[in-house]
Structure 1
Amino acid sequence: MRRTRFDQWPCPIARTADLVGDWWTPLVMREAFAGRRRFEDFQRALKVPRAVLARRLDRLVDEGLLKKVAYEEHPPRYEYRLTDKGRAFWDVLAAMWRWGSDWLWGENGPPVILVDNETGREVRPLVVDENTGNRLAGRRLRLGRKQDSSPPS
C-alpha cells in the first residue's frame, strides 16, 4: 500500500510529517547529532535493516539534511554529515525529546537525559517564539494566512 504524500501541502506540519513520518528518520538524525557518520555505525547503533537505512540516508541526502562525503575510493565509502538544514532539524528532535520525556515515562522520567557539555547540567528543551522569547501555548495560537508583503502597484 502506498502512503499518502504531504510534500506539496500548504502546511509546514504536513510537509515535515512527509519527511519524518516514518520511525527511522528521526532516529537516524538523532544518531547523526550523536556523531555517527558512517553507514556501519548507523546500522550498528539502530539495528535497522540495511536496505531501510540506505533508503533513509538517501532521502535525507536528497532533502539536504545530510551530505555524502567520500572517505575511501576503493571500495567507495561515504560519511554522512549534517548540513545547515540538518543542524536546524535539532529543534524538531528537541521538541520530540521534551514531549517524550514528559509524557511517555513515569514520574522518574526517562533513563537518559540531555546534558550541557559545558556545565554538565541537564537540559530540558522548550519551544519559544523567536520574536518574543515567550513559551508557545497552543491554546493561544491559531492558523492564519500569510499576508501578501508585496508593495501595492
Structure 2
Amino acid sequence: MAEENGPEDCPIERAMRIIGSRTSMLVIREAFTGVSRFDDFTAALGVSPATVTAKLNALVDAGILKRQAYREPGSRTRQEYVLDEAGLELAPIVLGLYQWGRRHAGGRSPRRALHEACGEEVDVGMRCSGGHDVGCDELDIRKA
C-alpha cells in the first residue's frame, strides 16, 4: 500500500507518468502548432512510426488528444489527432517550457508565441484566483 502523502499522491508525479517523456511532450507541442495527422507527426518528430503510434495512443487514452475522422476526396476515412480539453489546458505548461528553453537552454528558435489579436509576444506567469500577479517569492505551497 502506498504511503499517505508519498510520491504517488503528488500531482506532479502523476502528471509526469502521463506526459513526462520527451516524445510525448513533442507530440503535444506539434499538436499546438496545428499538426494533426499521423504522417505529419512522424515527419515533424523524426521518430519511428511505431513510437508515434504508441505516444498518440497513450495521449488519447489519457484524454490529452482525441481522434477525429477525416476523409480526403477519393480516399478512405482516416483518423487525425487534436487536443482535447485536458490537452488544451497544457498550453501554459508547454509555452512555459518553450520560453524557459529559449532563455536558458541555449540556441534560438524561429518560432514565437504571439497574441493573435495584437501581435505581441505571449508571456507565461502566475496569477492567483483573485486576479493578482504572483512572484516566486510570494508563493506559499502547503498541504491542504
TM-score per shorter chain, which class?
0.7 to 0.9
> Is the CA contact 1:66–1:83 (under 8 Å) kept in the aligned structure 2?
yes
Shift, 1:29, TM fit: 0.6
Q: Which amino acid aligns with 2:123?
A: R
Matching of residue 114 in structure 1 with residue 124 in structure 2? no
Matching of residue 135 in structure 1 with residue 139 in structure 2? no
Calculate percent identity across the aligned residue pairs. Answer: 31
Superposed CA RMSD in Å reads 2.4
What residue number does 1:49 align with?
Answer: 48
What residue number does 1:103 align with?
Answer: 104
TM-score when normalising by structure 1? 0.77
Matching of residue 22 in structure 1 with residue 21 in structure 2? yes
3-state secondary structure, aligned to 2:34? coil
TM-score when normalising by structure 2? 0.81
1:39-78 matched pairs, under 5 angstroms: 39-72=38-71, 75=76, 77-78=78-79
After the TM superposition, which segments of 4 or more aligned residues of structure 1 sit over 6 Å from their partners?
A: none
The 2-side partners of 1:129 and 1:142 are apart by 13
The 2-side partners of 1:143 and 1:120 are apart by 38
3-state secondary structure, aligned to 1:126? coil
What residue number does 1:38 align with?
Answer: 37
> Is the CA contact 1:25–1:56 (under 8 Å) kept in the aligned structure 2?
yes
Q: Greater share of helix residues, 1 or 2?
A: 2
Q: Which amino acid aligns with 1:15?
A: R
**Structure 1 residues not aligned, in runs of 5+:** 1-7, 147-153
**Structure 2 residues not aligned, in runs of 5+:** 1-6
Shift, 1:60, TM fit: 0.5
Q: Which amino acid aligns with 2:103?
A: D
What residue number does 1:94 align with?
Answer: 95
3-state secondary structure, aligned to 2:87? helix
The 1-side partners of 2:109 and 2:127 are apart by 23
The 2-side partners of 1:100 and 1:27 are apart by 13
- Structure with the greater relative contact order (CA < 8 A, sep ≥ 6): 1 or 2? 2
The 1-side partners of 2:25 and 2:133 are apart by 26
> Is the CA contact 2:125–2:133 (under 8 Å) kept in the aligned structure 1?
no
Aligned length: 136
